[in-house]
Amino acid sequence: MATRIIVPDAGQTTDEVLLAVWRVQVGDRVQVGDFLADIETDKAVAELESHVAGYVLKLMAQEGDTLRTGETLLWIGEAGEEIIDRPDEDEDAKQTRTQGLNQPAEAEQRETTHMSTVATPAARTVARERGIALDAIVGTGPRGCIVKRDVLTAADQPGADGEPGHTAPFSDMRRAMAARLQRSVREAPHFYVQIEVHMGHALAAGERSKTQATVNDIILKATADTLAAFPRLNCRLEADTVRYLQEVNVGIAVSVEDGLVVPVLARADRLTLDEVAQQSRRLIDNARAGRLPAGVIAGLTVSNLGMYGVKSFSAIINPPEAAILAVGAIEDKLVMSASGITVVPSMALTLSSDHRIIDGELAARFLKALKDYLEDPSSLEH
């Protein structure tokens, strides 16, 4: 049966994406991992990978179309296979998309307009909010790319967001984040469990690693390996269904201008500490440059504010994920041992869980296992 490829969850920042570029055409043969399309949010351009192999049977959108999370993007199956629309697809979205595909001249004009104007996602957001035509702006970015400051200049509003006396409307990204997190707090009964971890052995393992792994790298590696041992926690609540994930993918909360994004480290439990360090740094750099992998979903996100000296905090769950791990700063503490009083680098970890699907006992056992993992000098060496 043909597989329906849908618009992936765009994260906290928006429920809408722009189809920027198709990487495939009808009739193309694709393998698992091949890039299907570039999709753009207000803050990033993501590369959508195929999770199935087969032939591209039908494209359900045009370049330049705005699509919502969950809409059908394309179909992949055997050559010549008949496509059977599924009843769970949103009818309004399907009708809107069909109307767009039945007007090739208009779609072609829209595609040409989109592709002929090169602009960053932030610039597009500001231009849309202020009603400014991008094709009337001269870009000062690389190769004439229009950046946010170009739009602000054109709008005769040189003041930057956050500048005293400057008034700025809620950006699309901030508005979508607010709605999503507000829904998380309102609908998901959060509860919090915290544990203190002695990080001496973990820090030593990071120093011995080839990549000089950071605390964040160490936490990501330990979280992934521990999560693999707790499959009941590696899940998402989608409508009234709990979806237990087959792979251990860990989200990484990354701050960007005017908000945050959550790139996902795929199959993190299968990576060595050095591989986690390399791939997480690449993900974070790409996220801040406006590029995110698409189609990789997580059941748990790691949010680290320890580098700012924050001792501990309680994070809001990124729906529809089941939990989020908040990482605090490492502090030297005096600990009584058999040899006397010693100084131990310690850190607080706080797990926020959705009580609809995770019980306190499960959350506590997970945190205890994570603590044991981090305090075991041999655990991070593989």
Residues 157-199: tens digit of each pLDDT = 444 555 665 666 666 667 777 777 888 888 899 999 999 999 9
Which pLDDT score is estimated for 99? Answer: 39
- Those residues whose C-beta lies under 8 Å from the C-beta of residue 234, and which sit 6 or more positions away, are 227, 228, 244, 245, 248, 299, 300, 322
Tokens of 19: 């189809």
Region 38-53: mean pLDDT is 78
Which pLDDT score is estimated for 180? Answer: 78
Give the number of other Cβ atoms within 10 Å of residue 369's Cβ: 16
For 117-176, CATH number out of 4.10.320.10, 2.60.450.10, 3.40.50.300, 1.10.3720.10 equals 4.10.320.10
Region 262-280: mean pLDDT is 94
Q: Of 100-104, 150-154, 332-336, 364-368, which gets the smallest average pLDDT?
A: 100-104
Closest CA to 247 of 295, 319, 312: 295
Q: What is the distance in angstroms between the CA of the first residue and the CA of the last residue of the chain?
A: 40
Between 68 and 117, name the one with better pLDDT.
Answer: 68
Helices of type H across the chain: 91-101, 104-116, 121-130, 148-154, 172-187, 200-208, 215-228, 273-288, 360-375
Residue type, 57: L
CATH class of 3-113: mainly beta
Per-residue 3-state assignment (H helix, E strand, C coil) for 154-174: HCCCCCCCCCCCCCCCCCHHH
Which pLDDT score is estimated for 105? Answer: 36
Region 246-271: mean pLDDT is 90
Q: For 96-116, how does the pLDDT look when each residue is reduced to its tens digit (9 = 90+)? A: 343 333 333 333 333 433 334
Which pLDDT score is estimated for 89? Answer: 44
Would you say residue 267 has pLDDT above 70?
yes
Would you say residue 124 has pLDDT above 60?
yes
Q: Are 57 and 84 in contact (CB under 8 A)?
A: no
Between 145 and 297, name the one with better pLDDT.
Answer: 297
| Domain boundaries, given as residue ranges, for the chain | 3-113, 117-176, 189-381
Which pLDDT score is estimated for 171? Answer: 65
Give the Å distances, CA to CA, from 178 to 181, 196, 315, 322. Answer: 5, 31, 14, 19
Between 199 and 88, name the one with better pLDDT.
Answer: 199
Would you say residue 90 has pLDDT above 60?
no
Partnered with residue 3 across adjacent β-strands are: 76
Region 118-139: mean pLDDT is 72
The fold for domain 189-381 equals: Chloramphenicol Acetyltransferase (3.30.559)
Which pLDDT score is estimated for 116? Answer: 45
| DSSP code of residue 247 | S
Region 312-324: mean pLDDT is 94
Which pLDDT score is estimated for 129? Answer: 63
Token match 């390399």: residue? Answer: 278
Between 119 and 96, name the one with better pLDDT.
Answer: 119
Q: Are 252 and 264 in contact (CB under 8 A)?
A: yes
Per-residue 3-state assignment (H helix, E strand, C coil) for 175-236: HHHHHHHHHHHHHCCEEEEEEEEECHHHHHHHHHCCCCCCHHHHHHHHHHHHHHCCCCCCEE
Would you say residue 126 has pLDDT above 60?
yes
Q: Of 19-28, 187-196, 289-298, 316-325, which gets the smallest average pLDDT?
A: 289-298
